[in-house]
Chains A and B, each alone.
Chain A
Amino acid sequence: MKKFSIGNLFSRKKRGRTISFLMVIVAYIIMQTMMSTGSLSSLFSGLLVPLCCYIVAAIGLNLNVGVSGELNLGQAGFMSVGAFTAVSVSGYLAAGIPNPVIRLIISIIAGVIAAAIFGILIGVPVLKLEGDYLAIVTLAFGQIIKSIVTNMYLGFDENGFQFSFVDNNTKLAPGGKMLLNGPMGATGTERISTFTMGAILIIISLFIVYNLMFSRCGRAIMAARDNRIAAESVGIGISRTKMLAFVISASLAGAAGALYGLNYSTLVPAKFDFNTSILILVYVVLGGLGNMTGTIIATVILVLLPELLRSMQDYRMLIYAVVLIVIMLLTNNETVITKLKLLQKSLGGGAKNV
């Protein structure tokens, strides 16, 4: 049994993890206090849950892109699977389980399982290949899922489930409920997602990802990323380790989607399109590959930015783009990185540099 010490938490290796957890917990406490005292604006209290969803999806994607080194362009597809599964499960259980918290947990678990199954289905053939094939296949997966959900009709009444594809042939008895209604997606969903559940999901996903990164499996994943041949030569099963990262990444997207879907009374399949996948990838790239703290900060800034710039009206997307480019240049510039490190060092000596 290793001795627990505070110093250990802030050791070079574990510092990132501790900061991530502290940041999330402190932010949660601040937001929760502001909400209970009523000083948080409607805008921000409405943004909290989607923010949590994007953070969870981005952390998952960072595990796949940053740690495992495989590009995934279909994170929104997995969110879609998770979201529509969770919304359907929640809609079906609404009468049986009136407690929203229990129903939310069951729905999220269902969403995670569904997304994981799709992750496995895609990962098994594709991750055996070397190269950027995962990017191509996940790109297609995102489009396919969108089309499939757009054409899917699922409803239930007292006689059981009815399902039809492409053309809506479901004939529900009065009192029946459509869970998925083709292009209209899910409507009349009970909004049961909470900020607390979002924060818990972030903590869980950070816990999973950091524990994986510091474990034997995690080191194998990074070895496979850095040098495939060397990793294979010491007996690491490349496709198995990459598969682990990919499926966890997909499951986290499923959880994020589930939380997202249950936060709105309506959800259309077109929401989870290619743009959403790219948006999440942007959060990851700007936050730093393999850097979970950075991912969380980047997600928060980039989700809030367009809302804070609302007063600029039409110019806001322009400014958003400029900010994106500036961050991209700054974070990838060698000189800036060296200077930042110097600044960090000299900060210990005094605050004169700021």
Chain B
Amino acid sequence: MKRNGLLKKLLSVTVASCMVMGLTACGGAGAAGGAAGGDTGAAAAESGAAEGSGAASGAAIKIGGSGPLTGPAAVYGNAVKAAAELAVEEVNAKGGLQFELDFEDDTHDAEKAVTAYGVLKDWGMQVSLATVTSAPGAAVSPMYKDDHIFAISPSGSSLAVIYQDPDNAASPYGNVFQMCFTDPNQGVASADYLAAHTDLGSKIAVIYKNDDNYSSGIFAKFKSEAETKGLSIVYEGTFDDSNASDFTVQLKKAQDAGADLLFLPIYYDPASLILTQANQMGYAPTFFGVDGMDGILTLEGFDTSLAEGVYLLTPFSADATDDLTKNFTANYKARMNDEVPNQFAADAYDCVYAIAQACEAAGVTADMSATDICDALTSQFTSMTFNGLTGQNVTWSASGEVSKSPKAVKIENGVYVGVED
């Protein structure tokens, strides 16, 4: 009898929750928007305590964004989220312009990015940080265009994020911008640098990740540039997610091919394994990385002495001594349990400040519609000059591409040292 009652209760709870779920599903914009708004309102009130919670809703410009907060790429999404929150707090604390941030999880999946976009739109997003990663970015960019919402991606570096026809780099969306270099730009810059500095090595081996947009995007452009510049690539090695732990085969082949320079257009975690395994094999070419290599010095459990002499192209270095970088690094560390900010974080921080600068210059207020803000910001971004963590005198072209020069640095005694061009 007692059991029967319990079961009935369980059943009715299940049925009731199903019905509630159904109701919220059909509740439409009002309900979903209300729930999301309440949630972020609370977050904003919590973070912007200095301003008082009253300023959080209504008077603030709503900035949306999505990135992988869970899953294998979560480290990038969380870095961007933390840095963007930091920047929003700083902007709000100054008084005047007020921002409110809602950063959704897209698990580095195009489908989830589109639903995250729906959530943000229901919330009333006026300006967006687009997405952290490239493939989801390419999926939501047409929606930003259709709905005419201004977006700037901190780190979605693929051409497909800003161009409708990425194969020919033609017909840009126009209102989607990038804060980071495009992948091909890095390929060109790397090839340029190596062509100008043949003393680093003349026989080039490349190990890249072929199921990664970023890595293969850089490599494809690097290869075609290398051909025109007469650089000789003696070995091309690939790996993917499923075999990203053992590189001895690729390294052995590179060694056998007589490569004296190893180009690594990959992120720092596999790169650290390559450095370690090359050291164990006694193979010591010159290593050359791109901006994904940034972060290798702060990797836990990695012997940083192995990274001595590694060259990399990076827009940002957490060890820089200017005030802006020092403050940012200190605040970020305080927020993220002593984690050193990487370039993703720096790009996100710059994005918020660039939006703030453009909003101030254009006189954007929170009661303007997303379309009006989009027009105002688009004209600002294509005409203004921005100074931030990741570069001085940064400008944007009408197609949304950023113009800042990647700087080559060399790791010496555990710090980045600028290399003369």
A residues apposed to B, CB below 8 Å = 30, 34, 39-47, 50, 150-151, 155, 167-168, 172, 174-178, 181-185, 187-188, 191, 264-271, 301, 304-305, 307-308, 310-311, 313-314, 317, 326, 330, 335-336, 339-340, 343, 353-354
A-B contact pairs, 7 of them (CB 8 A): A41-B27, A46-B114, A155-B167, A167-B236, A265-B138, A265-B141, A308-B25
CB-based nearest B residue for A178: B167
Stretch at the interface among B33-41, B298-306, B413-421: B33-41
Cβ of A177: which chain B residues have Cβ within 8 Å of it?
165, 167
CB-based nearest A residue for B167: A178
Asked if B230 is at the interface of the complex by the 8 Å CB criterion, the answer is no
Q: Within the assembled complex, what's the spacing in Å between the Cα atoms of A172 and B163?
A: 18
Interface centre among A185, A265, A266 (most CB of B within 10 A): A266
Stretch at the interface among B5-13, B88-96, B353-361: B5-13
Q: Within the assembled complex, what's the spacing in Å between the Cα atoms of A264 and B113?
A: 10
A-B contact count (CB 8 A): 140
Cβ of A314: which chain B residues have Cβ within 8 Å of it?
69-70
- Decide: A43 and B115 in contact? CB cutoff 8 A: yes
CB proximity to A under 8 Å, residues B2-45: 4, 7-8, 11-12, 14-15, 18, 21, 24-29, 31-33, 35-36, 38-39
Q: Within the assembled complex, what's the spacing in Å between the Cα atoms of A174 and B167?
A: 9
CB within 8 A of B168: which of A175, A266, A271?
A175
Cβ of A304: which chain B residues have Cβ within 8 Å of it?
21, 25
- Decide: A39 and B29 in contact? CB cutoff 8 A: yes
Q: Is the interface of A mostly helix, strand, loop or mixed?
A: helix
Could you tell me the distance in whole angstroms from the C-beta of A224 to the nearest C-beta in chain B? 36
Given contacts A266-B135, A339-B7, are A184 and B216 in contact (CB under 8 A)? yes
Cβ of A181: which chain B residues have Cβ within 8 Å of it?
167
- Decide: B111 and A311 in contact? CB cutoff 8 A: no
- Decide: A42 and B210 in contact? CB cutoff 8 A: no
Cβ of B166: which chain A residues have Cβ within 8 Å of it?
187-188
- Decide: A271 and B211 in contact? CB cutoff 8 A: no
CB within 8 A of B210: which of A150, A175, A308, A311?
A150
- Decide: A183 and B213 in contact? CB cutoff 8 A: yes
Q: Within the assembled complex, what's the spacing in Å between the Cα atoms of A198 and B9?
A: 37
Asked if B122 is at the interface of the complex by the 8 Å CB criterion, the answer is yes
- Decide: B212 and A271 in contact? CB cutoff 8 A: no
16 further A-B contacts with Cβ under 8 Å, apart from A41-B33, A181-B167, A264-B139, are A42-B118, A42-B119, A43-B115, A150-B210, A183-B210, A188-B160, A264-B110, A267-B110, A268-B213, A271-B111, A304-B21, A305-B21, A308-B24, A311-B35, A311-B36, A354-B12
Task: Give the total of B residues in contact with A, Cβ under 8 Å.
Answer: 59
Cβ of B31: which chain A residues have Cβ within 8 Å of it?
41
- Decide: B167 and A176 in contact? CB cutoff 8 A: yes
Cβ of A311: which chain B residues have Cβ within 8 Å of it?
35-36, 38-39
Asked if B98 is at the interface of the complex by the 8 Å CB criterion, the answer is no
Asked if B240 is at the interface of the complex by the 8 Å CB criterion, the answer is yes
Q: Within the assembled complex, what's the spacing in Å between the Cα atoms of A47 and B115?
A: 6
Q: Within the assembled complex, what's the spacing in Å between the Cα atoms of A274 and B187?
A: 32
- Decide: B21 and A41 in contact? CB cutoff 8 A: no
Q: Within the assembled complex, what's the spacing in Å between the Cα atoms of A25 and B53?
A: 46
Asked if B117 is at the interface of the complex by the 8 Å CB criterion, the answer is yes
- Decide: B213 and A184 in contact? CB cutoff 8 A: yes
Instruction: Report B91-117 CB contacts with A as 1/0, cut-off 8 Å.
Output: 000000000000011000111001101
- Decide: A268 and B25 in contact? CB cutoff 8 A: no
Asked if B292 is at the interface of the complex by the 8 Å CB criterion, the answer is no
Could you tell me the distance in whole angstroms from the C-beta of B283 to the nearest C-beta in chain A? 24
- Decide: A307 and B142 in contact? CB cutoff 8 A: no
- Decide: A330 and B14 in contact? CB cutoff 8 A: yes
- Decide: A41 and B70 in contact? CB cutoff 8 A: no
Asked if B407 is at the interface of the complex by the 8 Å CB criterion, the answer is no
- Decide: B167 and A310 in contact? CB cutoff 8 A: no
- Decide: A45 and B220 in contact? CB cutoff 8 A: no
CB within 8 A of A168: which of B118, B213, B220?
B220
